[in-house]
Amino acid sequence: MNAVIAHYTAACTQKDIDNVIIEYTSLVKRIAYHVSIKLPPSVRLDDLIQAGMIGLLEAARNYDVSQGASFETYAGIRIRGAILDEIRRNDWAPRSVHRKARQVTEAIRKVENREGREARDHEVAKELGLSLDKYHRLLQDAGSYQVLSLDEFRENEDVNLPTTSLKDPSGILQNENFQSALVETIENLPERERLIMSLYYVEDLNLLEIGKVLGVSESRVSQIHGQAVLRLRARLRQWLS
């Protein structure tokens, strides 16, 4: 298949494009579905598939066999990137959720700076002037819209791609430093948060499956996941501001 792809990147015809669409539509649907199960019900799978098809077409037109990656690997990255771009562009999260997420992030940062250790649920709730119950509900709301936070940093993982950023050594250094900081910060999360992040983003389990593994409810997993992501944002503030 790479030989065919190499041919039409040099002389791309409509027939070539049609063949690629037929061959890789299942890949688009698989990636779109995988992303959709981590999103609120208001996000339509068909919209994600359409975005993914655009990513597939871009991959077909831009694939360079000399870069060493297989077309399927390259296309998968482009498809996923196009889907994430579509989600970011539409931003299904209500403004109130963004505002509350920022408030939690800031509260976590303040508590951890003051105490010199990881912030606990009841401490963050107190910092926000909320009961523990209300804080957990807030985490659940915010967490459902935070699922892309780590996915965004996996788009270019494990493959060398021809991008404009490769022409900017300082950009590469900054990205590598951020990746190192992200990995270190994840490793320093509280044990349960770290485990949930691993099961969710590495093992690709959904919240219900993680709940069964840990013996807790799906809603509790959502709360812990939300707090983990917001804790990461608080600790990586210098990179994300």
pTM confidence score: 0.58
Same domain flag for 44 and 67: yes
Smallest CA-to-CA distance from 159 within 72, 85, 83 is with 72
Q: Is 96 exposed, middle or buried (0-12, 13-18, 19+ CB in 10 A)?
A: exposed
Same domain flag for 119 and 222: yes
pLDDT tens-digit map of 44-61: 899 999 999 999 988 888
The residue out of 90, 114, 130 marking a domain boundary is: 90
Smallest CA-to-CA distance from 46 within 73, 15, 86, 75 is with 86
pLDDT tens-digit map of 155-191: 444 433 333 333 344 444 456 677 777 788 888 899 9
| CATH number for the domain harbouring residue 118 | 1.20.140
- Cα 124 to Cα 109: distance, rounded to the nearest angstrom: 9
CB of 63 within 8 A of CB of 71?
Answer: yes
Enter the tokens of residue 203: 């093992």
The residue out of 66, 90, 114 marking a domain boundary is: 90
The residue out of 44, 72, 90 marking a domain boundary is: 90
Same domain flag for 236 and 120: yes
pLDDT at residue number 109: 92
Structural domain including 59 reads 2-90
State the total domains in the chain: 2
Same domain flag for 45 and 84: yes
Same domain flag for 137 and 42: no
Smallest CA-to-CA distance from 72 within 60, 82, 84, 83 is with 60
